């Protein structure tokens, strides 16, 4: 009786290991541009989501980035002081944006 149980267990386990294959998650690396106080952006902008999430927006204008940083602080309660917010906005506009008064 014990042998049959063990054999059944063995068969079930082998059957499962054929069916359940490990899923490979795609890994997308979004390196942050170094310099211009990138460490400030790293310190704060990676608390809640990845850098990829930020860069998925593509190149954006200064009003977009300052609005986005303000949204992170006001709505999502990102703990970033005024000075550091400005450093991050300048960093984002320089490396992931352009100077413009347009809202996008
Ligand atoms: C306290 C958590 C938190 C921190 C810290 C944070 N974010 Fe976010 N961020 C969010 C959440 C939540 C969303 C998703 C909002 C949504 O789906 O509408 C988001 C979404 C975004 C988006 C996608 C566009 C959008 O408007 O939803 C961008 C860009 C972004 N964050 C940039 C930043 C930057 C830059 C920083 C650093 C200054 C930052 N975030 C820090 C919580 C945070």
pLDDT of 23 strictly over 90: no
Q: What was the pLDDT predicted at 25?
A: 64
Ligand 1 atom closest to the CA of 92, numbered from 1? 35
Ligand 1 atom closest to the CA of 80, numbered from 1? 38
Mean per-residue pLDDT, 15-43: 79
On the CB side of 39, CA atoms within 13 Å amount to: 0
Residue with CA nearest ligand 1 atom 34 = 45
Q: Are 61 and 21 in contact (CB under 8 A)?
A: no
- Res. 5 pLDDT band, cuts 50 70 90: confident
Q: What is the pLDDT of residues 55-79, one digit of tens each?
A: 888 899 999 999 999 999 999 999 9
Instruction: Determine how many CB atoms are found less than 10 A away from the CB of residue 13.
Output: 9
Which protein residues are within 6 Å of ligand 1, measured from CB? 44-45, 47-49, 53-54, 57, 68-69, 71-72, 76-78, 80, 88
């Amino acid at each position: 009786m014990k042998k049959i149980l063990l054999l059944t267990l063995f068969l079930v386990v082998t059957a499962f290991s054929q069916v359940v294959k490990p899923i490979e998650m795609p890994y997308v690396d979004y390196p942050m541009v170094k310099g211009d106080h990138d460490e400030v952006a790293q310190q704060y902008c990676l608390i809640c989501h990845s850098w990829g999430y930020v860069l998925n927006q593509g190149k954006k204008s200064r009003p977009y980035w300052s609005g986005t940083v303000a949204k992170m602080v006001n709505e999502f309660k990102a703990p970033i002081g005024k000075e550091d917010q400005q450093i991050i906005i300048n960093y984002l506009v320089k490396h992931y944006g352009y100077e413009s008064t347009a809202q996008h």
